[in-house]
Structures are given as structure tokens and as C-alpha cells.
Structure 1
Amino acid sequence: MTTITTAVRPLVPDPDGDRALLGGKAWGIQRMLALGVPVPPAFVVTTEACARHRVVGGRLPADVRAALPAAIAYLEEATGRTFGCGPTPLLVSVRSGAAVSMPGMMDTVLNLGMTPRVQVALAVSTGNARFAADTARRFTRQFEAVVGVAPPAEPAAQLEAAVSAVFASWDSRRALAYRRERGLDDDAGTAVTVQAMVFGNLDDASGTGVLFTRDPLTGDPEPFGEWLPRGQGEDVVAGTHDPLRLTELARAQPAVHAELMALAATLERECRDVQDIEFTVESGRLWLLQTRAAKRSPAAAVRLAVALAEEGLIGEREALDRVSPGQVAAVLRPHVEPHARAAARVLASGRPACPGVVSGVVVCDTEAAQDRADAGEAVVLARPTTDPEDVPAMSAVAAILTELGGATSHAAVVSRELGVPCVVGCGTGTLMGLAGTEVTVDAAAGEVFGGVLPVVAPTGAGDEPDLARLLAWARAEPGADPAASLPDLLTARDRTR
């Protein structure tokens, strides 16, 4: 693809691209390419095209449609595969990517380009009819869910419809609510990244996963992540499967795990922040699909800001920029009184996703949970798993519980951004029977207790080492009140920036 337009352009090695135009996903891909990271080839339909898509009432602009064949030809040349035909077919993913990360808010279509002929060709070329059938099933289900119609027979028409649908998801009810709650610009738009598929569902040496370069729950320096053999990326982030810990990848494919850890360290160092990395292993070969700054719990935000400053990756002022008054308040929340905890009955347990201790009544219906929370009731939302439509309720409730999913699922990622205590993966059938029950959720421990348990007030900011370090840095800034609290100092900084 030699022609670069404002609307459609190939992704090339570039550490300094225009994030507002390319969107965060494509911008991260270009940075990875510049570092020599193995990334499947891709092109982007830019946020500028999204803006025009909105103006013309949700129709794909003519110049975008005209540029897509050349963009696909670029992927064909880069992969040696052909889109929609041939003995080695090319399938692509079509994914949103706003400049400001909005995890799970917009739509994705994987395995696009699938047709009955392509399914046969995949089965023949891989010698794996089961894989081909699984990929075709995944594509049809996801395309119908996102676009709202059965896939067209022609892959080119599939691509146009999917790009248009992903642009349209920028104005979905859930995305609008998400931006409204965070004060984000409705006119910024999303880009669409179209990337050659690599297949985590191909064979026993394949899989998909998510890696955080440090623990986003606690701020511990060790890498943290999950791995799902014979899966595709949506299986992990949607929380519909229970993934394994990354130690299982290290055991099964030590060389792949070692390569992943080395690349993760490079990306954290170059990006100067903890990274959230999506990866796929196809028949023993590692590919990185995305990297972005990791969403983190309030406790992790505090610990990581101090750690990164002490390691010299960021300065003290930037460390203060990375912590909000609300996160400090969350770190200083109460914890369960030890004797009451020892005597309490554990109703459910799972993986911690965002720490905190709260009590409330379990509600399993999303709309009812939001209504009751908006009316002032302390509500614990319990679901088999969550999806983007649940975010308004997740923002309103006191805590979130899910039966399925791991620490990189939708519920986990969104709860950490919201600062809402959350426990995931409690087990199928463990939560729905708790509707109407008063419980206490200790999300740091991943436990749900029966009844309302007493809590112990925390110590002050000066007694927590990381908070004390931030407090000292904040008080040392020019014009800072040396007697002010850390939340007050951070609030004052926000007002003057």
C-alpha cells in the first residue's frame, strides 16, 4: 500500500505517531513495530474518517471505501495470504481504538473474511477441519452480534460493514455513558485497526493471553497475567472463560514465555509506564497484538507511581500527576475487623480484581441494581459475567461479583478503572442464589461473607510509606501548603494544571 491518505493508512514503525488521528491501538502498534516487536501487519482507518462517518449519518465515506482494497492488498503482500480466496486465506480482525483508552466500550469483529470456500481452504491448508469450523462459527456469531445482520457473502462487503459498525459503536449508549462519567470528548471519535489474524485456537501449541508488566491490583513488581490455551482474545477479555495463570504458559512453552517477558520489559521501559499487553501464540510463535498503559487499582496506582519514580522512569512531579485524590481516598478505606472476619461464613470466593471492603445487598439484575444504587442503597452487583452494557450499573454499585472470568476480564479491568471493589471467577452457580442477601465483600482477599461485618478505620496517609513519599513530594512543590493533606494537595495541583 504505497498511498497514504488521511483516512486509511498502513501501520509502520514509528515511535512518534499522531495518537489523536491513529487512536491508541494503532499508535501502540507503530511503537511496537519501531522496537522490533513481532506484530501482525495492520492498517488503520483514522479518527478523521470516524468524524465524517458521524456527519453523514453512519455511512462509510466514499474515499474510505475506495481505499480499503489497496489496504487489504498491503496485508496480502505482507502475509503472503489472499483475502477471501486462495489456498492460504487471509482473515482479519476489525477493532476499535480511541485515542483515550475505553476498555470494552466499543465493538470488535474477529476472523473477518470467512466464507464457506475460505473455511474449506483453511481446513485443507492447516489439516485441521475442527479449527476451520470453530473459526467460522466464531466469525458468524460475532459479526451478527456487532453488525446486526448475517455476514455478506463477499469479504469486501463484510469489511465495509464491520468498519462502519465499529465507528457506530462510538455513539453506543454504553460508550456515551462512559465518556459522560469521565468528562471525555464526544467528538474525538475512534479509529479502526484492521489487522491480519493470528490464531490462538489453531492447535495445542496455540493460545491467547493478557500480560501486565506489573500487578495492576497490588502494584507488586512481578509481571501478572493470564493464558488461555486454544482460545482467541475475546475469550479472555469477555470473561466467558476461566483462563490459567501465566505460569502454565511458562511450563508448557518456556521459550515463548521467556520471549514474552523480555518484550514486556522493553515495552514498559520505552513507554515509561506499566503496560497491558494482549498476545497470541500460534503454533508456538509469539505475536503481540496491543500494548497500552494498564488500568490499575487505587492501591496499585499509588505504589506504582512511587516505584516508577524511584526507578528513574518518571520524575516526582509526573508521579504526583499519576495519582488522583480519589485514589488516595480509596487506599485509606477501612478493612474488616479481624475477629468478626474469623467468625463469619464465607459465601463465595474468587480472584481479587479491585480491592476494597463494602457491605450491601446482592442484586443479580443489572437494571434493578442501578435503580436501587441510584436510590441510595448499598448494592452488590452479582453477574455470571459482565459486558459493556453493564458499565452504567457497575459505576453506581458498591461492589461487583462475577461467577466467570479472571483478573483480566471485562469486569476486572473496568472495576479497577472505576475503583469499585470487585471479585471475579467465583464459580458457576455460586452467586445467583445470593440475590437479596446482605453480604460483606473483601475484594482484596477475594472473599464474600454473609452479613454486614464491622470494619476497622485505616491509618492516615502519613503512616503508609508510599503515601508518605507522595505527601513529601507534594509538600515540596513551589507554593504548596506544608500543612495540607495529600488529597488536598493533589486537588490543588489539578486546579492549577
Structure 2
Amino acid sequence: MNNLTKTVFIFGDKQADGNAEMKNLLGGKGANLAEMNLLGIPVPPGFTITTEMCRIYLNEGHDKLISIIKNEVTASIKFIEDRTGTKFSDVDNPCLVSVRSGSRASMPGMMDTILNLGLNENIVKGLIKKTNNARFVWDSYRRFIQMYGKVVMDVRPEEGDFVDPFEEILDEAKIQKGYQTDSEFNAEDLKNIAQSFKKLVKKSTGKDFPSDPWEQLWGAITAVFDSWMNERAIYYREMNNIPQEWGTAVNVQAMVFGNMGQKSATGVSFTRDASTGEKIFNGEFLTNAQGEDVVAGTRTPRQITIEGSRRWASLSGIAEDIRSIDFPSLEEMMPEIYQELLGCAEVLELHFKDMQDIEFTVQEGKLWILQTRNGKRTGAAMVKMAVDMLEENLLDEKTAVLRVDPKRLDELLHPIFDQGEIIQSDIIAQGLPASPGASSGRIVFFAEDAQLWSSEGESVILVRIETSPEDLKGMVAANGILTARGGMTSHAAVVARGMGKCCIAGAERLKIDYKQRIMQTENLTLKEGDWISLDGSTGKIYQGKLKTSEAQLTADFEKLMDLSDQYSRLEVRTNADTPKDVMTARRFGAKGIGLCRTEHMFFDDDKIMSMREMILSENEVGRRKALAKLLPMQRKDFEDIFRLMNGLPVNIRLLDPPLHEFVPHDEKVQKELADEMGISHEIIKQKIESLYEFNPMMGHRGCRLGNTYPEISEMQATAILEAALHIKYEGIESRPEIMIPLTGTVEEMQMQKKIINQTAEKIFELYGDRIEYLVGTMIEVPRAVLIADKIAEHAEFFSFGTNDLTQMTFGYSRDDSGKFLPMYLEKGIVKDDPFQVLDQEGVGQLVTMAVRKGKIGRSNLKIGICGEHGGDPASVEFFHNEGLNYVSCSPYRVPIARLAAAHAAIKEDKKINAAAQYAIKRQESLLI
């Protein structure tokens, strides 16, 4: 059977039907399980049901799926039986399996898993006889009932209850016995718990728990396919742009048991530190446990390495002599297993050329590798690993650049806690630094509250005993995440790192009471709504709200940026109106200013009164009088910016917003303005009312203002050009680009350009000197796109204002779209928020048309973009492909755009090279 018709792919005993290149068909987990077998890594045998079967199941249903895969699944179970020497559904020598999901993109914890499948009351008895380990068998059975009951039979908390009903039974049993952890249960305890679990299933569903292993298997397979469409998986896909049509594979694998006693264990390891990027093998494990225990954080995990254990103990305040006895590492407890695990890790990282996240189980002294995948990591770790692996010759330069997701750079650029604040603040608790960063917020205990409070503008910290996939929306809404349980590989830690969100896990001295909504430390009680601050780099938790300071950029970051500039062809500028923004953008590598919004300069206290005086003047004489007051202030602003840019281009947009935005609507301020102007308050009030517009965003603004009141454009052109001449005498070069906003006709462009050029000639004559400058326009009106060739005859550059172009193309108001866009996104009416990610199908076509037509009108036309889309990686790639000269974005998005520009260029080169190779092969085949 060939791969086009094959639905199930086996792996085991160093053989496999698939390989790592087949992620689309086998999912990431299935493809890597196959690859590890081919590498000789010890992997329990199993099989993968393809992603194509997920699509068939979701579209055509259960019966259609089973009819297609039944024979292959039956044969594949036989494959597992032959390699394990066991028999599925056999009482005396049972074959037990795990059933796991596996999308082509990693989605940790978002879909469902079932372990220990194949057990029933009779098989339990036979397995006890075989293993002589009743506690292990009953523990495995109760886990199976709990997982299967939740995943397949949908046993959930009753309405209004937040606690898992299975966990309630476990907690009650611990209280009755006086136990602290699940590991204290004996075989009889676990048998009773299993019986209670089965009664719960019957009560909740009206059905008996299934005893037929084949019925269990089909139920588990379809439930895992169903989990592709659960709420948290859908939400995660939307958040990470993972297409729904991909589907998930299902992996069925022989069970290996980490819960068979103290010689058995389970854990998760990383070939490098997922938080910092440091090249150090690390991870966590638990003895006598199954994998869910490590992720759930219900027991404090131990560290794999001695060094990691010592670091953990130091952070937790545990002395070395106590650590070595009570919390020994895997390296100390099972040195031979540790060395074998380390060897597997080194082989896998070298093979996949990336940091690996490896799940493993030790069954009575035998190591098994259950999964490997490219590990989730923080933005800082992503940068460090890429640069380190480049220097280690694991990666070439282009691959190193592509290895870093541009969006993740955002984590490195924002402020961190001010050190002075930290010294003066009280540390109320200490946890593990699961995901770095600094965040302050009000305590909330439930995901729903985090969403609600955040939507109302509150900064929140989600505080949980431990998180689960159901908490995902709350984790996204929160500024930071704090858990009392769990380690560096807990659900909270892994998901937070994937989101680039600050997280502290395993703060075990915290007592969290969901019912009272309080969090207690040894000497402090905090309630919902109280402020706390998390330092995800140290694990320290502070009381109150801490101030922040600027993040420090590393040498690795600078090297990545240098590499990005080496490969990118699209220049990155910044949108900046103040010296502070300009300095920030220069620090982040901006190669110029793509948008200086002059109206932002008028809102300063020393300018706003003169601006209002100009707007409310009765005639041109009054306006010119007020503009004369503004001229020296605006000129100084431009001088400051030109000095800071020191020869780089500065694109300055003339006054754009409607005038009503500048006038006072407060009666007290109106009276002050009337006194300043020497006219009555009533006249001022009437003038302000006359400025009212029904649709101001499409009203008297942009070039319409400059053409109605040419003295405004004259003043601004004078301020720009005189500023340029003044700094020229200081020996500083300037490259001003004067941008006319909202052009929709050739005549508008001509009129404004004439005013600017005539003003320039007067200034140059007065100063006896000249400077070079450009005059261009913003393309933000659809009509300007249609006549771009004609406009280009008069414009030396175009700059796409994609915010307004999007607004006018869709007919969506940016200010009001929040009322319907969330619903549109949820229902799939639009794929992305068009104000954040460029609508390539619609607005993008307008950009394409304007570029093509503009270059017909002027072959050397310079073209850029200065809307919010200039910092969105997907949009940057589009602009690169359209041949733009530059993108411009806010200062903190400059590095993101620089890296995205490099990605776009490298990807284009790869496509060109691939096409060339194909052409060569095609030519060779024709010659043969």
C-alpha cells in the first residue's frame, strides 16, 4: 500500500513507515516518533493514524472513519503485540496502549490524551498476578478511568462548580486517610477510588464504564480527533495562526510505566534552557509517576541534573545537605539512566539542529523516549539559541535568522522592573522563574475573571493552584501567571513561554483559596483585586505595583539584528514625533523616520493655545498671527529631530486631522481662550460648534485643510526647511521629505506642491542657501490608487497610509469596529483584524495597483508604508514582495520589522533558488 492510500503508519524496533519529513500527514509527534526509530532511539512501538483521517472523521463521521481504518488499526495492534510479547484484551498478558494527539504544529496541552487503555476488572486481576504489584495496577486503572471518563465520556463539574469531580474524590480520600499526596495511597485505597470513579461515570453519563478494550480504543481514537475542535484548541489555533483544515493525527503506542515503583520514573527534559537559551541540559522528573503528574504539578518535581537541582534548591532556600537527601537529581539517583538520556538528547539535538523537548519514562530501570519536538522557548532564549547554534556551526546564517519568530522579539524590548523599586519592595513569596519578564497586576483567581477585568482595562495577574488547558483564555488576558504548584515543565510554564508571557510556577508556600478568593503567604493575606508584581526572571513575587525601567539589549540580539540587515532589502523606518520616540527608534536600528505626525506636536501645553487661536480666528490675518507664534516652536521641534536623525531621511506629514480635534470642549478652557483672543465666549462657542462634522474622518482634513487655508501649509513648510538650513550650519545633514496627506485628485496634489515649492524658493532666497528636499503624498484614499500614475507625475514618493486605506476600503470605522470585529473574527467572516494584519486580498490589491501605476508615472518613485501594518511580519513580507523601498512602524516594533524584512528576503531567495533548480532538472530530463 502506498502513502497516498495508507491511513496508518507503524513504528517500532528501529523501523518505521514514516519519517520526520512527513509532518503534514503524521503530525509532528508521529513524524518524530518514526524518525527516532530510524535513529535507533529506544521508542515504545506503536502506530500513527494520519491527519487526513481526522478530516474524514470530522466531515463524514464515526462510521465512515472506522470503515476506512479498521483493518489497518487491527494489523497495527498486532504489530505492537508482536514487539512487546503481549496481547490486546488478554487477561493474563495484556497489551496496554496510550492514545495521543499530534498536530503538525505543536499545541501543548490543547488536545486530549488517554493512558493505560485496555484495562478492565478482569485484566486488572491478571496484571496484578503478572507483575505482583497491586498498587501499580490499581493506580493505572484509576488513572485510565479518570482520563477516559473526562475525555471520551465527558464527565465534567456540575454547573457552578469549579472543581474536577474526579479530583474531588481523590481529595476526599486523602483527607480521610490523612495523606498529603497521591503517592501515599496503597493498593486498597486505589481500588476503592477506582470503584468510586466508575460510580461517578455512571451517575454523570447514565452509562457503565466500558470494559471491552476494542470499544475503549475506538472511543479514544475518535475522542482525540474530536479534541481538535474543542474550545481551547480552536482558541490556540486562532492565537497562533494554525489552520483548522490541518487536523490532528492520532498516535497509539505501547504503554511503558513510570509508576511501577522507585526504580521507575517519568519526566521532561530540554537540551537547552527554554527560559534563557543557555546551553545546559535540564528538566524535571518524578519517581513512581506517570507523565501527567509532571505536567499537572500535583507533586513537586525533581531536577534531572545535579547543577539544576542545586540551582532549584538555592532559589527555594533549601540547604545543600537537605537537597541531596530529600531532593536528589536523576543524575544522582539513576546515573546510568541519566547518561543514556543525555546521550539520546545530544543525538536528537544534533539531528534536528534545534533545542529538543523530550518526554521520557523509566520502567524498572529501562529508559524509553516517548516524544521529541522542537521546544517552546522565550523570545530571549530564541535569540540566544539561534546565535549560539550559528557559532557552533549547527546552523548557517540564513537559517539562524529564520529560526527567530519576529513577533517574539517584542518580549525583549519592553521595560523590566526598576532596580531601585525592587530594593525597596517586599518579597512576599518565591517560585520558579518559569518564563521571564516583569508584570504587575491585580490578583484574579479564575480565567473568566481575567478576561472580564482585562476587557475593562485592568491589568491582572492570574493566580492558580495549577493551570490547565481550560485556563488558556485567562492566561492570554492576564499580564502574568502565578501558580502554587508545578515546575519548569508544568502547563503554566510551557504555555506562558510559548506566549512570551511572564510566569512564576511552583510557589509552594502560597495557599490559594478559590472559594474565599484569597492568597496567603506565611504572614500575609491578599484578596482578589490586590496588586502584586512578578519577576519571571528570578521567580520573586512582590507586593504592590512596581515601576519599570528599559530592557537591556544583549550582544546576541545585536548580532541577530546585524544579520537581519545584511539579508533584508526592505529598509525599516519609524513613526516618531518626539525626541524620546526618535531616540528609542534609533536605539532599535531605525534607518529614518517614515511618519512624523506634525499634529502631535501641537498638543503640547505651550502650543495648543496658539493652535486654537489659529483655528478660531475670523480671517486669514488672525490665522497668520497665530501661525507666527507656532512657527518658531515647530521649527525647533524639527531641528531637534533632524539632529537626532543625523542625515537619515525624515518624512514629515503636514497637518492631517480635522480641526475640531484641537479645539476645547470644556467651558472653562473656552473662556480662557476667549480672554486670550480678546473676544467673547459666545463667539468662541459658536465657532467651535461650526467645526462640527457628521463624519470628521472623511471631512475637512488632510490636504483639504492646506488647500482651504494655504497659510497652514506655508508655515509648516517654512518650519521644516528653515530647521534643515539651521542644522546645516551646525554641520549636520538633513533629508526632509514633505508629505501631503489624503490626496485624492491630481489637482489637490498640484496645489499643495505649488505652495511648498514657492515657500521653499522664498526661504532659499532669504537665506542665500539651498537644501535638497522631496515632496510626496500619502496613498490612503482608494481614488488615489486608481490615478496613482497621474499623481506620481507630481509626487517624488508615495507612502501608504494603510490604516485609512483599510478603513475606507472596508467601510469600517477604526473607532467603532470594536463593536462587531470580535464577532466577525470569531465567526470567520474575516480571518484577521484588518487594522493589525494587512488584508492582502482587498487592500493588498490596491497597494499592488498603486505601486504598478505609480512607477509608470515616475520610474524612480520611492515607495513606503507608514500604517500600523509596517510592524506586522506577515504584512512586511507582502510589502517586500511588492517591491516597496521601506516600511515604517512604531519604535518598539522596529526590530520586529527588521527581522521580518530579512525573513521575507531569505524566503524569496529560497523560492528563486528552488525554481532555478527545478528548471535545471527539467532541462536535464528533456535532454535525456
User: What is the TM-score of this pair, normalised by structure 1?
Assistant: 0.95
Instruction: Give the equivalent residue in structure 2 for 1:27.
Output: 31
SS in 1 for 2:297: coil
Q: Give the AA of the match of 2:555.
A: P
Deviation, 1:77, is 0.6
Matches within 5 A, 1:261-276: 261-276=342-357
Contact persistence 2:443–2:461 (CA under 8 A)? yes
Letter in 1 for 2:263: A
- Say whether 1:373 aligns with 2:431: no
Rounded Cα–Cα distance in structure 1 between residues aligned with 2:62 and 2:533: 46
Structure 2 unaligned regions, length at least 5: 154-204, 306-328, 513-517, 520-525, 572-588, 592-893, 908-928
The whole-number CA distance in structure 2 between the counterparts of 1:240 and 1:81 is 32
Residue number in structure 1 paired with 2:569 = 479
Q: Residue 912 of structure 2 aligns with which residue? A: none
- Range 313-322 or range 173-182, more displaced: 313-322
Structure 2 residue aligned with 1:185: 243
**CA distance in 1 between partners of 2:898 and 2:461 (Å):** 32
> 2:232–2:469: 8 Å Cα contact kept in structure 1?
yes
Distance 2:22 2:551 in 1: 44
Query: Residues of 2 paired with 1:74 and 1:381: CA distance?
Result: 46
Distance 1:422 1:56 in 2: 42
Equivalent in the alignment of 2:560: 470
Give me the identity figure in percent.
Answer: 40
- Take 1:3 and 1:200, find their aligned partners in 2: how far apart are those partners? 35
* Partner in structure 2 of residue 440 of structure 1: 533
> SS at the partner of 1:261?
helix
Mapping 1:103-118, distance limit 5 Å: 103-118=108-123
> Aligned equivalents of 1:365 and 1:228: distance in 2?
28
Say if 1:195 and 1:242 are closer, same or farther in 2 by CA, change over 3 A: same
**2:294–2:301 CA contact under 8 A, matched in 1:** yes
Q: Any residues of structure 2 matched to 1:251-400 within 5 Å, and which?
A: 251-400=332-481
Aligned Cα RMSD in Å? Answer: 1.9
1:153 equivalenced with 2:243 (yes/no): no
Match of 2:546 among 453, 459, 474: 453
Q: Which moved more, 1:115-124 or 1:329-338?
A: 329-338
Aligned to 2:7: 7
**Larger helix share, 1 or 2:** 2
Is residue 2:149 matched to residue 1:144?
A: yes
In structure 1, what residue type is equivalent to 2:45? Answer: P
Q: Which residue of 1 aligns with 2:51?
A: 47
Residues 265-290 of structure 1 show CA distances to partners (whole Å, capped at 9, x for unaligned) of 00000000000000000001000000
Looking at structure 1, the residues matched to 4 and 900 of structure 2 have their Cα atoms a distance apart, in angstroms, of: 44
Amino acid at match of 1:319: A
Give the secondary structure class of the aligned counterpart of 1:187: helix
Which of 120, 125, 139 is the aligned partner of 1:120? 125
Paired with 2:142 and 2:3, the residues of 1 have a C-alpha distance of 35
- Structure 2 residue aligned with 1:84: 89
Q: Does 1:222 align with 2:312?
A: no
Q: How far has the Cα of 1:427 moved from its partner?
A: 1.3
Give the whole-Å Cα distance in 1 for the aligned partners of 2:240 and 2:70. 33
Between 320-329 and 478-487, report the one with greater CA deviation: 478-487
> Structure 1 residue 65: deviation in Å?
2.9
Cα displacement string for residues 379-411 of structure 1 (whole angstroms, at most 9, x for unaligned residues): 100111111111111112100011111100111
Q: Are 2:262 and 1:204 aligned?
A: yes
Cα deviations by residue, 1:172-211 (Å, 9 ceiling, x for unpaired): 0111111111111101000000000000001110010000
CA–CA separation in structure 2 for the residues paired with 1:159 and 1:309: 45
Partner of 1:492: 901
What is the CA–CA distance in structure 2 between the aligned matches of 1:222 and 1:365, rounded to whole Å? 35
Map 1:422-437 onto structure 2 (within 5 A). Answer: 422-427=503-508, 429-431=510-512, 432-433=518-519, 434=526, 435-437=528-530
1:348 to partner: Cα distance: 2.1
1:60-105 C-alpha deviation (Å, 9 max, x unpaired): 4312234322221111011100111142211000000011111100
Identify the structure with the greater strand proportion: 1
How many pairs were matched up?
A: 494
Q: 1:16 to 1:450 in 2, by over 3 A?
A: closer
Contact 1:360 1:438 survives alignment (8 Å): yes
Of the structure 1 ranges 66-75 and 225-234, higher mean CA displacement relative to structure 2 is found in 66-75
Q: Matches of 1:176 and 1:295 in 2, distance apart? A: 19
Contact 1:357 1:421 in 2 (8 A): yes
How far is 1:5 from its partner? Answer: 5.3
Q: In 1, distance between residues paired with 2:74 and 2:137?
A: 25
Letter of the structure 2 residue corresponding to residue 437 of structure 1 = D
Q: What's the offset of the Cα at 1:153?
A: 1.4
Alpha-carbon shift at residue 3 of structure 1 (Å): 11
Distance 1:113 1:231 in 2: 19
Equivalent pair of 1:335/1:457 in contact (CA under 8 Å): yes
Q: Which runs of 5+ in 1 are unaligned?
A: none
Query: What is the alpha-carbon distance in structure 2 between the residues aligned to residue 158 and residue 244 of structure 1?
Result: 34
**Once structures 1 and 2 are overlaid, which stretch shifts more, 336-345 or 352-361?**
336-345
Instruction: Quote the Cα distance in structure 2 between the aligned partners of 1:31 and 1:239.
Output: 30
The letter of the residue matching 1:10 is I
- Between the aligned partners of 1:383 and 1:209, the Cα distance in structure 2 is 22
CA gap 1:261/1:189 in 2 versus in 1, 3 angstroms: same
Structure 1 residue 313, shift from structure 2 partner: 1.0
Contact preservation (8 Å) 2:29, 2:373: yes
1:489 partner amino acid = R
Q: Is the 8 A contact 1:384 1:428 kept in 2?
A: no
Change (3 A) 1:189 1:478: closer
> For 2:416 and 2:403, how far apart are their aligned partners in 1?
25
Matched letter for residue 472 of structure 1: D
**Structure 1, 165-174 or 333-342: larger mean CA deviation:** 333-342
Contact 2:387/2:560 (8 A) holds in 1: yes
Which residue does 1:70 correspond to in 2? 75
Aligned counterparts, 1:232-247, within 5 A: 232-247=290-305
Q: What is the deviation of 1:429?
A: 4.3
- Structure 1 window deviating more from structure 2 (100-109 vs 2-11): it is 2-11
Residue in structure 2 matching 1:95, options 61, 76, 100: 100
Could you tell me how far 1:22 is from its partner in structure 2? 0.7
CA contact (8 A) 2:258 2:363 kept: yes
CA drift at 1:441: 0.9
1:90 counterpart SS class? coil
Measure, in 1, the Cα distance between the counterparts of 2:21 and 2:406: 32
Change (3 A) 1:201 1:2: farther
Asked if the contact 1:170–1:176 (Cα under 8 Å) also holds between the matched residues in 2, the reply is yes
- Confirm or deny: 8 A CA contact 2:483 2:506 kept in the other structure: yes
Task: Tell me the SS of whatever aligns to 1:382.
Answer: strand
